[in-house]
Amino acid sequence: MIVVLTGAPGAGKGTQADLLVAREGWRKLSTGDALRKHVKAGTEIGKVAAGIMEKGQLVPDDVLLKILSEELSGVADQDVVLLDGYPRNLAQAASLDAAVGRGRVAGAVHLDVPRAELVARLSGRRVCGQCGTSFHVDQHPPKQAGACDKCGGGLVQRPDDQPDSIGVRLKVYEETTKPVLDFYSKDGRFQAVSGVGALEEVYGALKTAIGRVKKS
């Protein structure tokens, strides 16, 4: 069963999905993470995606469909998969239903966060260059400045967390990704929760909402 996590960049989808994976034994598929792996490994997909990602724009749909099939190939029907970062437009939402079967896509759960908070989160975010763990310079600083608490790797700023790219990403989200919420709400496969508040508070609300879409 697939549950789509929607929300603007910086809404906390990745962080909450990691918690759900650790506590519920579910799986997470982040298309952003998968693309960053391709970029790091210098694959053909990585070469196409790198410049587009750096600017904060969307990588073409056919590339994403390849990634989706690649990543879902090892997943069993009974696994619960949290999709983080896909679909990002209406064509991708339709492709997902077509690729895995509409009945397997339980629905979307949305994390709602106001724009000013998104900008603050994205501009202060630092990620471990080795294991990918996220920190924030003010809201969640590492114990030792510049080093990852988990693996000791160096912390870096993602190129697309620079101010110009943040603006583009939020605009793309508003104009292109937001219609995806209607896609799921039109046929009753949608729940929304606030993504602002303490981590555990948001986690609780999100888990309840996921339970609702899984049942519906």
Residues binding ligand AMP (CB under 6 A)? 9, 31-32, 35, 52-53, 56-59, 64, 85-86, 88, 92, 160, 169
Answer yes or no: 13 catalytic.
yes
Q: In the complex with ligand AMP, which residue's Cβ is closer, 83 or 193? A: 83
Q: Write down the catalytic residue from 37, 55, 158, 207.
A: 158
Q: Is 9 left (phi over 0), alpha (psi -120 to 50) or beta?
A: beta
Q: In the complex with ligand AMP, which residue's Cβ is closer, 35 or 45? A: 35
Q: Write down the catalytic residue from 27, 28, 36, 88.
A: 88
- Side-chain-side CA neighbours of residue 107 (13 Å): 21
Quote the least distance from Cβ 83 to ligand AMP, whole Å: 9
Q: In the complex with ligand AMP, which residue's Cβ is closer, 88 or 189? A: 88
Q: In the complex with ligand AMP, which residue's Cβ is closer, 15 or 92? A: 92
Answer yes or no: 88 catalytic.
yes
Count Cβ atoms below 10 Å from residue 71 Cβ, excluding itself: 18
Answer yes or no: 169 catalytic.
yes
Confirm if 148 and 155 have CB atoms less than 8 A apart: yes
Residue of minimal Cβ distance to ligand AMP: 32
Q: In the complex with ligand AMP, which residue's Cβ is closer, 12 or 56? A: 56
Answer yes or no: 104 catalytic.
no
- Could you tell me the two tokens for 198? 């303490």
Closest CA to 12 of 159, 202, 188, 187: 202
Quote the least distance from Cβ 139 to ligand AMP, whole Å: 18
Quote the least distance from Cβ 92 to ligand AMP, whole Å: 6
Quote the least distance from Cβ 49 to ligand AMP, whole Å: 7
Closest CA to 158 of 119, 137, 132: 132
Give the CA dihedral 24, 93, 46, 125, nearest 10 degrees: -60
Q: Write down the catalytic residue from 28, 125, 126, 189.
A: 125
Confirm if 149 and 143 have CB atoms less than 8 A apart: yes
H-assigned helices in 56-177: 61-72, 90-100, 115-124, 163-172
Quote the least distance from Cβ 183 to ligand AMP, whole Å: 14
Q: Which amino acid is at 215?
A: K
**Catalytic site residues?**
13, 88, 125, 158, 169
